[in-house]
Amino acid sequence: MLPKVSNTTEFLSQIRALVVLIVAILTIGALSSVIIFGETPTGALALTVTTLAGAGKANSGSVDPALGTWGLIMKFFGAFIIWFALWTTFGLAIEGKFGEYYKEVKETKHIRALRGHYIVCGAGRVGKPIGDRLKNSGEEVVFIEKDKETIAKLKEQGYYVIESEALDEDVLIKAGISNAIGIAVAIGDDGKNLLAVLTAKELNTNLKVAARISDSKLIPKFKKAGANYIILPEAIGGTKLADALRGYIDEDHIFVNE
């Protein structure tokens, strides 16, 4: 399955498709007019543009059959471009992509300006409390999360969020890894967490790295990858519960996330 893309990526891909289509048609039109009619490159491009716009000698009544046929074909492509542009613009407007794109670009600028912040990969049962603890301590936090519902809740709470399923180099750079103090890798997949630790340390050797793992056998690998702190939530939870049963913890609730 392909990684989920952010609103910015989706928006730009549709705009890029429109630009590529326009450039392709202009190129085909110019090259064909050079080959068929012997136009110069500049003249060929001008002829193509004027024809697509419904003007020029290819649209006049007194043209030779070849030029007239070529003009009809180019006008067909011109109509298709207009239709595609309108369809793309209408679709983006209906889906609110323009507003989403603006908000995401603005948030990206804010993230780039951050210094001394923390990155949290995953906003699940482990990642979210990490972010809350840091935020409540006055720290700036950037989450990397894939679930749209979770992302919406995080943004309502004032967090910076990057929507991505991947934890590759580009995503970490977008999260400001080079200017961050630390990163907490808290996804429920040891393989992805290990790769994220390796990538993070390559991008910022001074970074403090905390990693969540499920299999204690992987501790040596995570240490070798550069993790400074390695946590097994289930093991710690079990130990705390055992201590509570034996009377070593007074609180009724070991941890409450309000």
- Return the number of other C-beta atoms located less than 10 Å from residue 11's C-beta: 20
SS3 183: strand
Q: Say whether both 88 and 47 belong to one domain.
A: yes
Rounded mean pLDDT, 141-165: 92
1 within domain boundaries:
no
Q: Is residue 161 part of a domain?
A: yes
28 and 79: one domain?
Answer: yes
pLDDT over 70 at 11, yes or no: no
The band of 58, judged by pLDDT with boundaries at 50, 70 and 90, is low
- Do 86 and 124 fall into the same domain? no
Q: Indicate the pLDDT class of residue 242, thresholds 50, 70 and 90.
A: confident
The enclosing domain of 182 has a CATH number of 3.40.50.720
Q: Are residues 70 and 169 in the same domain?
A: no
Q: Is residue 254 part of a domain?
A: no
Q: Of 38, 59, 94, which marks where a domain is finished?
A: 94
Domain containing 67 equals 7-94
pLDDT reported for residue 227: 95
The number of domains in the chain is 2
What integer best gives the mean pLDDT of the chain?
A: 82
- Nearest 5°: the CA angle 127, 129, 177 is 45
Residue 79 within a domain = yes
What is the tens place of the pLDDT at every residue in 203-212? 999 999 999 9
Burial of 65: CB neighbours in 10 Å, binned 0-12, 13-18, 19+: exposed
Q: CA-CA distance, 181 to 120, in Å (whole number)?
A: 11
How does pLDDT run across 171-199, given as a tens digit for each residue?
Answer: 999 999 999 999 999 998 999 999 999 99
Q: Cβ distance 189 to 132 under 8 Å?
A: no
Find, among 49, 51, 56, the residue nearest to 23 by Cα.
49
Confidence band, pLDDT 50/70/90 cuts, at residue 123: very high
More confident site: 108 or 144: 144
pLDDT grade, residue 136 (50/70/90)? very high
* pLDDT tens column, 91-101: 666 665 655 66
* Residue 55 predicted with pLDDT over 80: no
C-alpha to C-alpha distance for 28 and 191, rounded to whole angstroms = 47
Whether 252 is covered by a domain: the verdict is: no
Q: Is residue 256 in a domain?
A: no
